[in-house]
Amino acid sequence: MSETLPFLSKLEDLERDFEAVSAKMADPAIAGNVDAYREQARRFAELEPLVGAFRTFRGLEQQLDQARSMAREETDDELRTMARDEVRLLEEQVADQAGKLRSLLLPRDPDDDKNVVLEVRAGVGGDEASLFAADLVRMYQRWAEREKLSCELVDLSESEIGGVKEAVLEVRGKGAFARLKYESGVHRVQRVPETEAQGRIHTSAATVAVLPEAEDVDLVIDEAKDLRIDKYSAGGPGGQHVNKTESAIRITHLPSGIVVQCQDERSQYKNLAKAMKILRARVLDKMRTEQNAKEAQVRSSMVKSGDRSERIRTYNYPQNRVTDHRIGLTLHKLDQVMLGDLNELIEALANADQAEKLKSEISS
């Protein structure tokens, strides 16, 4: 094995673990125990991509050794040239596969597969900020539709001109948080408002918060001691039931002061369930933020920080341009981005984050 892979011993250990797990899954005693089998199956699914990539790497290295031997020993000029071409090709493939293995070895964010509570709030800029916030809400809804993810509007506070003061979306589906987590921050727009008679470009902003949905194991809330639940009549559009039934819910988390309300459903029970999901996500986010501050865990990359005080992106309408300031990426396709075509941005941010992690891992 060449020195291309600095994590060889760790990979060999993981391959042995994989083989042991495979043997356990074939054991009738394990197969007959639902909980034990589920645990082994989870570990198998976790290790299989890594071990498969490692075995592919090892096969490529063996082919490379053979090609190098042929290039050294072959006396026929034509065959020697072919062998040298093969060596160059295999060297590239080995390097690419080594990069994939390094990526697979990186610690995985335990929240990546969780559903998302996504909050959009109008920032500075008055009415134009609320209109931009509404545009962002539609952008994320369209993106979720493209990605076959469930996206539900849980709570909405509208401005007088039809913009959004605050909106809460629930995005559900595999990998929802992994793909949306880089959206947290201040989004800035530059455009000529519809209300601007002089045609001057106006700058306004909206904030986006992406929170992983909290599970029972993540957070314990004593509902009797920690919560105050108020029931009231729903307001705004919604049909004849509005203001006639107390279906809307407001929950106050007394220890933190966090308040959540939901009036999306006609059913009080459904509104309570949705409000609890949002509350748990916000309380968990607050706890984690405070813990990180206490431990002074300052992250080295803006991509990874998710600090919602940062201006992360600018949407420039006159130039049909969107710029992500964390990685210096500019795309001249703002019209498509606002229609939900976000994946080029999302993938670039994920790749930059991964590169930063790899750099840190290698240096350590």
Domains and CATH numbers, the chain: 8-105 (1.20.58), 116-213+307-358 (3.30.70.1660), 223-293 (3.30.160.20)
User: Residue 61 has what pLDDT?
Assistant: 93
Beta bridge partners of residue 297, listed in sequence order: none
Look at residue 229 and tell me whether its pLDDT is greater than 50: yes
Candidates 232, 167, 210, 204; CA nearest to 305 is: 210
Look at residue 193 and tell me whether its pLDDT is greater than 80: yes
Q: Which ranges constitute the DSSP H helices of the chain?
A: 8-26, 28-31, 34-73, 77-105, 126-146, 176-180, 223-226, 268-294, 302-305, 334-337, 343-363
The 3-state DSSP class for residue 101 equals helix
Candidates 274, 300, 278, 279; CA nearest to 359 is: 300
When computed from its CA atoms, the radius of gyration of the chain, rounded to whole angstroms, is: 26
Phi and psi, residue 240, nearest 5°: -70, -20
Task: Enumerate residues 6+ apart whose C-beta is below 8 A from 86.
Answer: 67, 70, 71
pLDDT digits (tens, 9 = 90+) for 37-78: 999 998 999 899 999 999 999 999 999 999 999 999 988 889
Region for 180 from its dihedrals, namely left if φ exceeds 0, alpha if ψ lies in -120 to 50, beta otherwise: alpha
User: How many Cα atoms occupy the beta-carbon half-sphere of 318 within 13 Å?
Assistant: 9
pLDDT digits (tens, 9 = 90+) for 128-180: 999 999 999 999 999 999 999 999 998 899 998 889 999 999 999 988 999 99
Q: What is the mean pLDDT of residues 284-300?
A: 61
pLDDT digits (tens, 9 = 90+) for 296-334: 443 334 344 334 456 899 999 999 999 999 999 999 999
User: Residue 361 has what pLDDT?
Assistant: 62
Copy the structure tokens of residue 337. Answer: 């981005």
| DSSP category for residue 182 | G
User: Residue 298 has what pLDDT?
Assistant: 35
Question: Whose structure tokens read 């909405």?
Answer: 156
User: Residue 354 has what pLDDT?
Assistant: 81
User: Residue 313 has what pLDDT?
Assistant: 97
**Segment of 51-60, 232-241, 351-360 carrying the highest mean pLDDT:** 51-60
User: Residue 261 has what pLDDT?
Assistant: 87
